[in-house]
Amino acid sequence: MRILLHVCCGPCAVYPVELLRGEGLSVQGYFFNPNIHPYQEFRKRLQAARQFSETIGFSLEAENEYGLQSFLRQVVFQEQTRCGLCYAMRLRAAAAKAKEQAADAFTSTLLYSRYQRHELIRKVGEKIAAEEGIPFYYRDFRIGWQQGIDGAIAMELYRQSYCGCIYSEQERYDKKLRRRLKRGEEKN
């Protein structure tokens, strides 16, 4: 079975690729992430995905274009539902790439993250699969969370601290600010 794996970053690919290959599946990677902000973060994640690819001999096709405008056009004024829109944007591209490559199914490293909305990813993936006529290969990769982290550290892959979008970046800083305010470290 040939699987097209949407890759959101190098570290998140470590465990899924190892698991799928271990089960005898042929896995091709596809990096498509127009949501990542800022540009420097996009480049770091793309480079980490390439580094992972080269390190283990994993075939990876990457969309090099920084797609922030496309992402923002789809989510502005819909921030509360942005994750589903973002998943759909990336999974739709993965499904199209899987069909182009005559893969048997597509899946995503988004299913590895403990921080992503797992059931929403599954729902969106299955909907796109039905629309595009190619199966969505659902797998809960979160069971290998620590194994993936350990592998990424061993390969010295860049590891990020937020999902990638401008909104999650703001949420990360808002949490830090709230903690400091709670401790009385900053004044209003």
Helix axes 118-132, 82-100, angle to 10 degrees: 40
CA angle, corner 49, sides to 169 and 143, nearest 5? 75
Sorted by sequence, the CB contacts under 8 Å of residue 157 that are 6+ apart come out as 10, 11, 14, 48, 51, 52
* pLDDT tens, position by position, 80-131: 777 889 899 999 999 999 999 999 999 999 999 999 999 999 999 999 999 9
Element containing residue 154 per DSSP (H, E): helix 145-154
CA 111, CA 172: separation in Å to the nearest integer?
A: 21
Q: Please give the model's pTM, rounded to 2 decimal places.
A: 0.88
CA 124 → CA 59, 116, 153, 184, distances in Å? 25, 13, 31, 42
pLDDT in tens, 49-76: 999 999 999 999 999 999 888 888 887 7
Domains, the chain, in order of start with CATH, read 2-182 (3.40.50.620)
